[in-house]
Amino acid sequence: MTCKGICTRYKAQKPVGTGRYASGQRRCQICEIFIKWEGLWCPCCGYRLRTKPRNLKYKAKLRARVNAEAKAEESIAINANSEEAAVELLEEAKPKKAKSKPKAKPKAKPKAKAEESIAINA
């Protein structure tokens, strides 16, 4: 398969401060270009896109960045859960007002059944 030139529409600029793979870019080896594409296959030539670096040094950098982001998200989730727990504790600490239940009305016996039994006996 060969490059058809479609990939130039999706050409990605080099990000500042982060790596290409960390920012979501993918590389096509046939077209020899980094593209901003969510699919697994190149839209131009149909070749599989690389989503991770081949060099050991850059693999380690990417792995470290992904782990750091995962820990940051985890700490945010933990903070959110602790805030929810604190709100629940505050609500439990508030004195609850006793709710009075309304008195139940006595159920009246249906008269229709009594009349039917009299009619059947007669």
Cα 30 from Cα 46, distance rounded (Å): 9
Helix residue spans in 30-55 (DSSP H) = none
CB 87 within 8 A of CB 79: no
Beta bridge partners of 26: 35
Model's pTM, two decimal places? 0.54
Listed in order, strand segments (DSSP E) in the chain are: 26-28, 33-35
pLDDT confidence of residue 109:
62
The mean pLDDT of 1-30, rounded to a whole number, is 86
Give the model confidence (pLDDT) of 72-99 as tens digits. Answer: 887 787 776 676 666 665 666 665 565 6
- Residue (of 85, 103, 102) closest to 93 by Cα position: 85
